[in-house]
Amino acid sequence: MFEKQKVYLSEEKIQQRVRELGKKITEDYRGKDLICVGTLKGSFVFFADLVRQIDLPMKIDFLGASSYGNQLTTSGVVKITLDLSMPVANQHVLIVEDIIDTGITMKYLLENIKLRNPASLKLCSLLLKPTRVQAKVDIDYLGFEIEDHFVVGYGLDAAENYRNLPYIAQLDQ
C-alpha cells in the first residue's frame, strides 16, 4: 500500500511541545476539577504523554468515535464507538485529540458533550490540517499545524497500522 515513510515530526520535537502544552494546561486549570478525555484510538499515545505533563489532580476518561473505519478518507458519518464512563455535568472537560483533519468528528463530539452541561469544555489537539477543515472547531491547545500529508505514528494510523512509531511520519503512496 505505501512504499516508504519519512519522519515529519521527530520524537524530540513532539515531546518538547507536549511539555509546553502540559505546562499551559496546568496553569489554566489550577484549582479546577478537571476531567481529561482521550479520543480513541488515535490520541492514546499523545494523551498518555500529555496527562503526565499536567501537574494537577484530574480524572481520566475515554471516548471513541470514528468517521473513517478502516478507510483512509472520512465517510462523513460519525459513529460513537465508546461513550464516557462518568458524568461530566459541572466539571471542566478537556478533550484530547490526535488530529483535526476535516473537523467533522470533533464538531459532533463537542456538540454531544456540550449537551451534558460541563462547567467548561476545551479542546487540545496534537495536529491540525487547516487546508482540510470542513467543520470549524475551536482548538484551545494546539501542538502543530501541518500540511495536507497523510501522517502516521505516535498513535495515528493507516488502516490500524503504524500507531507504535515514536515520531510522526509522512507516508508516500
CB atoms within 10 A of CB 163: 17
pTM of the model: 0.91
Answer whether 46's CB lies under 8 Å from 155's CB: yes
20-24, 62-66, 112-116, 162-166: least confident range: 62-66
Q: Dump strand ranges (E) for 86-173.
A: 92-100, 120-128, 141-145, 151-152, 168-172
Domains of the chain are 10-149 (3.40.50.2020)
Burial class (CB in 10 A: 0-12, 13-18, 19+), 52: exposed
> How do residues 128-139 score in pLDDT, each as one tens digit?
999 999 999 999
In angstroms, the CA 71 to CA 38 distance is 21
140-157 per-residue burial string, b: 16 or more CB within 10 A, e: under 16 = bbebeebeeebbbbbbbb
47-51, 63-67, 86-90: least confident range: 63-67
24-28, 75-79, 166-170: least confident range: 75-79
Grid cell listed for 164: 507504535
What number is the average pLDDT over the span 70-85?
A: 74
CB atoms within 10 A of CB 74: 18
Using pLDDT thresholds of 50, 70 and 90, give the confidence band for residue 76.
low
Please give the positions annotated as active site.
101
Using pLDDT thresholds of 50, 70 and 90, give the confidence band for residue 1.
very low
Using pLDDT thresholds of 50, 70 and 90, give the confidence band for residue 83.
very high
Q: Dump strand ranges (E) for the chain.
A: 4-9, 34-40, 59-66, 79-82, 92-100, 120-128, 141-145, 151-152, 168-172
Q: Look at residues 166, 170, 124 and name the one whose alpha carbon lies nearest to residue 15.
A: 166
